[in-house]
Amino acid sequence: MGVRLSTFIEGHKAEAVLAPLFKLLEAVFELLVPLAVASLIDVGIANGDIPYILRMALLMVVLALVGLASSVTAQYFSARAATGFAEKMKSALFCHIQSLSEKDRDEIGTSTLITRLTSDATLVQNGINMFLRLAMRSPFVVVGAAVMAFTVDSTLAWIFVIIIPLLSIIVALIMRVTIPMYRKVQNALDSIARRTRDSLNGSRVLRAFCRTADEEKAFREDAEAMYSLQMASGRISSLLNPLTYAAVNGAVAAIIWFGRERFGMSLIEVGAIVALVNYMNQILVELVKLANLIVTISRAVASGKRIQAIFDKEPSMQDGTFSDKADGEAAVSFDSASLAYADGEPSLSSVTLTVRKGEKIGIIGGTGSGKTTMVNMIPRFYDATAGSVSVFGRDVRTWSLASLRSLIGVVPQKAILLKGTVRDNMLVARPDASDKEIEEALEMACAYQFVMEKGGLGFQIEQRGQNLSGGQRQRLTIARALLRRPDILILDDSTSALDFQTEARIRRSIASIEGSTLFVVSQRVSSVMGMDKIVVLDKGHAVGIGTHEELMRSCPVYQEICHSQTGGAR
């Protein structure tokens, strides 16, 4: 079972208790006001007693000021409790998301994770804020107004006994219908967020294939679906105010009607009738507030369940404990390793390979042959679904993830840069690296010259490196991996945007790193033909392992790749 949301209120229990208590104090003063008004009318005005009128007026001002102070204090405490709760919850949720494996995040979906961390978390925060302010106050005022009505006139007070259950039934029925609809609205928001993210990330592709209009149409359909849900829930919710106002106004009319008769019989004073009307209006206001509270709480509960579902998602990848290298020559070993993604189809099947320390391994194959899948198992981004992968003599599942990944430098297929300076991006690999070490890594990755031309290590990189070319982004990500001086370096098709001359220079620089084991994933024969071993993948199977010359003699798939790229030249 994952973390419970209720635990995040720890540290804010005092505020969570004080907020409703001050709201109750405000309600007490509010309930005393109609009695003061009744006394002012029945005693002060009826007898022409000016000093009494002034005393009652001053009393009402004091009640108002004390009530205001109580209300402001309650707002302060409820805001502190709600924001503190949200801060802890968001931090814990972000950390939990980070603890999930790539497989887990693939199953949940990035867009829904973003929605739950932002929109859902905000709705929960707002729900807690309103709950602390109104959950006790509104029922207290409703019940308190009915009780105070009996102290004013027990005969007319029976109108309150009839109207309060009627109003409660109206509110309950409307909420019962609208609460499930709010949950559907949040799911529709997930869909919109997912489409928006896909459209923004793939905007160039959509424009290149003239599919912008189609994407706009699909987005409009999702937005209209959400609009329809919101309108449907809004129409039902909109019945709340007119129905409650109609019921309360009917009750007010009944108070005045029967009060007129009792006044004629000298059984009640005008001030008492006014007090009863005021109490009825207080009930109306509080029930409307209560209805809005229920709406907000309903949305918050729906969002809270969605957030709780993420916390309940146990990471499928458990951290190991080992942190030291074992003795032996093997840097990486694949023992009949297989991997299947969420769809169940194996992307890699029964690959067996032993890589000695310092060896240079090339991995080549067609699109979808399992090249990236194979190297993703080394830093344990994904666990093998059959067989095993070992690093320095230990199964990767027994390694501490932090220790394992500290030995490995990865340059992913898609160059990922963070918003910030060049220095900030380099320090992601080694926070303690000096500027001189960063510049050396930039030199090795053939990135030093263009970085200096752009202003040096302080050059500001935009989000995802949008102010850099594809080749510049790739060179910076290679430099970042080299800065770590890793024992195992993985280049996952990370030179596809570079010309052959630049790629060759980078390969020579990497080869000069003594003792480093290198994996190069590429679709270019020229990138792997000089490697100690080349693994040829086809439809997830290793159909050939050997040097370039050996594979040219024995592996038809490799021969076909070479012939297609070199025109038959060896």
Banded model confidence at residue 328, pLDDT cuts 50, 70, 90: low
DSSP string across 240-256: HHHHHHHHHHHHHHHHH
Q: Looking at the DSSP assignment, which residues form a beta bridge with residue 550?
A: none
Q: Identify the pLDDT of residue 327.
A: 64
pLDDT 10s digits, 272-287: 788 888 888 888 788 7
The contacts of residue 187 (CB under 8 Å, 6+ apart) are none
Query: Where does residue 455 fall: left (phi above 0), alpha (psi -120 to 50 degrees), or beta otherwise?
Result: left
| Per-residue tokens: 291 | 């209805």
Share of the chain above pLDDT 70, in %: 97
Average pLDDT over residues 537-547: 90
**Range 152-165 average pLDDT:** 80
For the entire predicted model, the pTM comes to: 0.74
Residue 569 has pLDDT above 70, yes or no: no
- Give the CB-side neighbour count of residue 11, counting CA atoms within 13 A: 11
Number of residues assigned to the chain:
570
Q: Rounded to an integer, what distance in angstroms lies between the CA atom of residue 325 and that of residue 222?
A: 52
Residues 6 or more apart in contact with residue 185 via CB below 8 angstroms = 226, 229, 230, 233
Percentage of residues in the chain with pLDDT exceeding 90?
A: 15
| 446-466 tens-digit pLDDT | 988 999 988 889 999 988 788
- Matching residue, tokens 């040097």: 547
> In the block, which residue shows the tokens 């009839």?
162
pLDDT digits (tens, 9 = 90+) for 27-47: 888 888 887 887 778 777 877
* Domains observed in the chain: 5-311 (1.20.1560.10), 317-407+487-498+515-570 (3.40.50.300), 412-485 (3.40.50.300)
Nearest to 385, CA basis, from 105, 109, 101, 99: 101
Rounded Cα distance between 12 and 15, Å, is 5
Query: Is pLDDT above 60 for 442?
Result: yes
For residue 115, what are the contacts with CB-CB under 8 A and spacing of at least 6? 186, 189, 190, 193
Helix (H) or strand (E) holding 19: helix 13-39
User: Among residues 431, 277, 404, which one has the least CA distance to residue 268?
Assistant: 277
Measured distance CA(443)–CA(479) in Å, rounded = 8
Average pLDDT over residues 507-526: 84
Pick from 281, 277, 256, 259: nearest CA to 268: 259
Is 258 in contact with 277 (CB distance < 8 Å)? no
And the tokens for 433? Answer: 């690296």
Q: Which of 131-135, 136-140, 209-213, 262-266 has the lowest average pLDDT?
A: 262-266
**Among 493, 480, 259, 225, which residue's Cα sits nearest to residue 376?**
493
Q: Look over the chain and give the mean of its residue pLDDT values, rounded to a whole number.
A: 85
Calpha distance 54→342 (Å, rounded): 77
Residues with Cβ within 8 Å of residue 54, at least 6 apart in sequence: none
Report, as an integer, the average pLDDT of 57-79.
89
